[in-house]
A and B are shown apart, each in its own frame.
Chain A
Amino acid sequence: MKYVDEYRSGALARNIVREIRQVQTRPWVIMEVCGGQTHSIVKHGIDELLPEGIELVHGPGCPVCVTSLEMIDKAHAIARRPEVIFTSFGDMLRVPGSEADLLTLKSQGADVRVVYSPLDALKIARANPEKKVVFFAIGFETTAPANATAVWQAKREGVKNFSMLVSHVLVPPAIAAILQAPQNRVQGFLGPGHVCAVRGFGEYEAISSRFRVPIAITGFEPLDILEGTLMVVRQLESGRAKVENQYVRAVRREGNRMAQELMSEVFEICDRKWRGVGAIPKSGYRLRSEFRDHDAGRLFEVEEIDTQEPAACISGQILKGVKKPHDCPAFGTSCTPQHPLGATMVSAEGACAAYYLYGRHLRKEETGHVT
């Protein structure tokens, strides 16, 4: 497909790797922020194709993974109600809460429906006026314009039986939290291409200059990731720290202004708890009070939920780039995608699940390849 196939050339990938090898004089640790990039890296074996000493560590950029257990339990409590049709992206269905997952609730009679788009959830609300239709609004800045549009449109049309349980998270505060952690190893970042297509990269320039860290806003195809890595290594080797845009075909510095206006009309910034990481100040979106009639968190009284994560899980350290899945004794043994213990195993974009999916629990070292 146009804009996809040409960015998967194996021959070009080997050329970029050779270029990185020529530029590199010492080891560097680079974090890819986005879960989609993590998935692409592990799928194509890009981390294993890179020269020795260039280590890619996997960031917290999987919104399914970092949705807090409390929020998932809250979603489940709402989904169990007989008057509710609970709608969600498919990724959330198998994510376990304290007791069950949405698929199990569905098998027990809850009306849980997977939607491709939040606008589909709004359609379900229009078609079922006697029911309360709740959409589980998770995601980063990439997803926020779509979710904002659905609730904005519901208010405009007066679709009163449509509401959202909002658990949005924001990337820049998470990057700042990683860089401020005392055990931080990350020296450069591949920035999240699609988040920046929406938000632009002004916020990343502030982070880059504040922490003296190079950032390359990067796409998702193998050549994008390799070129982004080359950009960061070049900066690290020459002692520079700025934001470069590898993903120019989709990202402009100012981002998508109309999407930003819509997001700020519907959402406001709030503190948010990230699964595996903990609370990060000003790292989430919630609905503005003008949209309170569509705020499922307010409409459905849910008892205070007390949750506890398994002690064996090291997902918090993996999300911060301090450890890798293989460092965990539970990885691939007591923790698998079928029975995940924590954040990084619950979705295919989590680092542990991606490693498992592509067979890395079966081996320690192997030469990767890009096809």
Chain B
Amino acid sequence: MCLGIPGKILDCFESRGLRMAKVGFGGIVREACLQCIPEACVGDYVLVHVGFAIARMDEQEASRTYRLLEEMGQLNELKPSDNENGA
């Protein structure tokens, strides 16, 4: 139910006084309300839930977290694995 999908803002416009956007989700384009993310603009990634942007995705944090997870793997390579017993 609390599903939120990251999508890229393709276009911003106003409808009946509400700030709206066309948001692309990997090929599918849907309208989303930007009322609560006033700073978001074309090219930004937003997290959309029931047609409503609830957060801006932080691109730097997304890649930083991923890099840290990758590094964890690389560091693990230096440690003895579970199947190794020093033979």
Contact-residue size bin, chain B (C-beta under 8 Å from the other chain): 35 or more
Interface string of A1-29 (1 = CB under 8 A from B): 11110110001100110110110000000
Within 8 A of A (CB), among B38-87: 38, 45, 47, 49-52, 54-55, 57-59, 61-62, 64-66, 69-70, 72-73, 76, 79, 81-82
Name the contact of A249 in the complex, choosing from B1, B57, B69 (C-beta under 8 A): B57
Stretch of A113-121, A270-278, A332-340 on the interface side:
A113-121
Name the CB-closest residue of A to B79: A22
Stretch of A135-143, A301-309, A314-322 on the interface side:
A135-143
Q: Does residue A259 face the partner (Cβ distance < 8 Å to B)?
A: yes
Nearest Cβ on chain A to B79's Cβ, whole angstroms: 8
Q: Does residue A264 face the partner (Cβ distance < 8 Å to B)?
A: no
Instruction: Find out whether the CB atom of B47 lies under 8 angstroms from the CB atom of A250.
Output: yes
Stretch of A61-69, A172-180, A205-213 on the interface side:
A61-69
Q: Does residue B33 face the partner (Cβ distance < 8 Å to A)?
A: yes
Instruction: Find out whether the CB atom of A35 lies under 8 angstroms from the CB atom of B1.
Output: yes
Within 8 A of A (CB), among B1-32: 1-4, 6, 8, 16-18, 25-26, 30
Nearest Cβ on chain B to A254's Cβ, whole angstroms: 12
Complex Cα–Cα for A140 and B42 (A): 29
Q: Does residue A311 face the partner (Cβ distance < 8 Å to B)?
A: no
For B65, what are the chain A residues with a Cβ–Cβ distance below 8 Å? 227, 246, 248-249
Name the contact of B1 in the complex, choosing from A11, A117, A139, A156 (C-beta under 8 A): A139
For A7, what are the chain B residues with a Cβ–Cβ distance below 8 Å? 66
Instruction: Find out whether the CB atom of B51 lies under 8 angstroms from the CB atom of A120.
Output: yes
Name the contact of A149 in the complex, choosing from B26, B33, B47, B79 (C-beta under 8 A): B33
Which residues in A have some Cβ–Cβ distance to B below 8 Å? Answer: 1-4, 6-7, 11-12, 15-16, 18-19, 21-22, 34-36, 61-64, 89, 91, 116-120, 138-140, 142-143, 145-146, 149, 153, 156-157, 192, 194-195, 197-198, 220, 223, 227, 246, 248-252, 256, 258-259, 262, 347, 349
Q: For the A-B complex with A2-B45, A15-B76 known, give 15 more contacts whose Cβ atoms are closer than 8 Å.
A: A16-B72, A18-B81, A18-B82, A36-B3, A63-B1, A116-B30, A118-B51, A119-B33, A139-B1, A140-B2, A146-B49, A220-B3, A227-B65, A250-B55, A258-B35
Which residues in B have some Cβ–Cβ distance to A below 8 Å? Answer: 1-4, 6, 8, 16-18, 25-26, 30, 33, 35-38, 45, 47, 49-52, 54-55, 57-59, 61-62, 64-66, 69-70, 72-73, 76, 79, 81-82
| 22 sample A-B contacts, Cβ–Cβ < 8 Å, listed by A number | A12-B70, A16-B72, A18-B82, A63-B2, A118-B50, A119-B52, A120-B51, A142-B1, A142-B49, A146-B54, A197-B4, A227-B65, A248-B64, A248-B65, A249-B62, A250-B4, A250-B58, A251-B55, A256-B36, A256-B54, A259-B54, A262-B35
